[in-house]
Amino acid sequence: MASRSLEGRLLIAAPSLKDPNFARTVVLVLAHHDEGALGVVLNRPSELEVSQPLAQWAELAVPPSVVFVGGPVAPAGAICLAEVDHEVASTDTWKPLNGVLGTLDLAADPASVGPTVRRVRGFSGHAGWGTAQLEGEVAVGGWMIADARPDDPFSARPADLWHQVLRRQGGPLAMLASYPEDPSLN
């Protein structure tokens, strides 16, 4: 495995990545170790309102208050990203990722989580990579790596997230934000 874990960082799909599951996506890496990696796509909202499957969490869901498509793996599974009011250690219902950002057990009662939950975003499915698969995809230029900002997982404009993250990188990466979806149409 790479000497540095990508956990808590963003993967930005290169314009050349044409897989429909990942074209122009931004993925937050939730786990990265010797056996592989797991993350959620941050910029693929679905039509399903959070209140339908997760009524107890709907009040804390940030707009757009829909379930996001986290990736093609285990689409019936759910992952909840949450921001809490202060850093706390892992519990049965809370697993910190970066500071006040982490994952929550959706079966829990929001009032019993422990730290006060400020906001949540729910995902169906996730992105997954086997041993050394993600490292290989990064090495051939399929993904660019960037630091995540606290608001990235909760963007009110998820359709713009790919462009926004690239622009803030500066230099040649920022120029990719204006790369056309189909260069042959230029």
What sign has the CA pseudo-torsion 36, 156, 24, 21? Answer: positive
Q: Are 38 and 46 contacting, i.e. CB atoms less than 8 angstroms apart?
A: no
DSSP codes of every residue in 28-56: EEEEEETTEEEEEESS-EEEEETTTT-GG
Q: Are 57 and 120 contacting, i.e. CB atoms less than 8 angstroms apart?
A: yes
> Tokens 């990203």 appear where?
81
Q: What is the pTM of this model?
A: 0.93
The count of C-alpha atoms lying within 13 angstroms of the C-alpha of 25, restricted to the half-sphere facing its C-beta, is 26
CATH class as words, domain 9-181: alpha beta
Predicted confidence pLDDT, tens digits, the chain (186 residues) = 445 899 999 999 999 999 999 999 999 999 999 999 999 999 999 999 999 998 999 999 999 999 999 999 999 999 999 999 989 889 888 999 998 999 999 888 887 776 689 999 999 999 999 999 999 999 999 999 999 999 999 999 999 999 999 999 999 888 888 876 766 666
